[in-house]
Amino acid sequence: MDTRFTGVIPPVITPFTASGDVDYEDLDKIIDHLIDGGMHGLFVLGSSGEVAYLTDAERDEIVKRTVARAAGRVPVLAGAIDTTAKRVIEHAKRAEALGADGIVATCPFYAINDEEEFAAHFRAIAAAVSIPVFAYDVPVRLGGKKLSRDLLVRLGTEDVIAGVKDSSGDDVGFRRLVAANEKAGHPLALLSGHELMVDGMLLLGADGFVPGYGNVEPRPYREMWDASREGDWTRVRDIQDRIAAHFETVFAVKGRSGDATGIGAFKTAMVELGIIKANHMAFPIKPLEGANKDAVVAIMKEEGLI
């Protein structure tokens, strides 16, 4: 296992200006905020980074700026998110050239493929770059497509992928993946995206985790990680419970789309905490405002965050 990619590696959100451009100044601030918060790595151009809304030019600039700002303090993973291998490879090569330390890629989407085609897909991507490739398992965005345990361990054993970013929410599947990975000699770094169940995921053997809410509060996630290394599971659980209470800011948003709700609540909280200037979202998403913004703020106050 590549130990550079363990611990807490949040999916970095992308700040925008009112006109819909990426706010690179605020991006720098977020990067510092996360590294200062104890994060072990950064994952840019993920779903929480609104990657699907970004042009190639914007994606490139984000990788470039993040690599520059991180300046070797922590490794930088970059999403190479597109429908199929040929297109993913174009993104992956550019990210590698711009200094990313690793690539994160999903199985094909829009396309309708089977597991053998998934395997060929990841093999082609891995062969096209010389940095590690992580498989990104995110059924909720891919019409339910799930990467199987057997496929992942096979690709790990063959040195095709270096790890998995598991956003499937399938905890039993993750437990079985951890066990099979162990049996195979632990080739894969298994990162859980199950950010309200980090206690349980660490208890069963996750090598790290990728918490979207970590953009708002990195420090407690790091504390969870540290407590888990000491085997202090009661403390891990208590921190997770506290984060879960704060995370109710997301569930408080009503009547908005999935991306507007989750990422929108993170950004709104980050503005309140003074991390970024504005909660603008990628076009065509409007930022949270009115009752929804108030609901986020109310919970933050109730929880003593502001």
Question: Which segments are annotated as binding site for pyruvate?
Answer: 210
Does 175 contact a copy of itself by CB under 8 A? yes
Instruction: Give the total of residues touching a copy of itself (CB under 8 A).
Output: 61
Among 18, 68, 120, 298, binds a copy of itself (CB under 8 A): 120
Between the CA of residue 238 and those of 10, 113, 189, 232, 291, what are the distances in Å? 20, 42, 25, 10, 30
Residues 242-301 that bind a copy of itself (CB under 8 A): 244-245, 251, 256-260, 282-285
- Which listed residue (24, 29, 145, 165) is catalytic? 165
Would you report the helix, strand and coil content of the chain in percent, each value rounded to 5? Answer: 50, 10, 40
Q: Kindly identify the residues of this chain, within the stretch 54-113, that bind a copy of itself according to CB under 8 A.
A: 54-55, 81, 83-87, 90, 108-113
Q: How many CB atoms lie within 10 A of CB 17?
A: 14
Whether 277 is catalytic is no
Answer yes or no whether residue 52 interacts with a copy of itself by CB under 8 A: yes
Q: Rounded to whole angstroms, how far apart are CA atoms 152 and 179?
A: 12
CB of 176 closer than 8 Å to CB of 149: yes
E strands, 6-94, are: 7-8, 42-44, 76-79
**Alpha-carbon span 262 to 272, nearest angstrom:** 16
Stretch that binds a copy of itself, among 26-34, 36-44, 49-57, 64-72 (CB under 8 A): 49-57
Kindly state the DSSP code that residue 93 receives in the 8-state scheme: H
Q: Which of 140, 184, 291, 298 binds a copy of itself (CB under 8 A)?
A: 140
* Residue closest to 249 by CA, chosen among 274, 266, 271, 272: 266
213 is catalytic: no
Residues that bind a copy of itself (CB under 8 A): 47, 50, 52-55, 81, 83-87, 90, 108-114, 117, 120-121, 124, 140-144, 169, 171-172, 175-176, 179, 194, 196-197, 199-201, 203-204, 231, 233-234, 237, 240-241, 244-245, 251, 256-260, 282-285
The catalytic residue positions are 136, 165
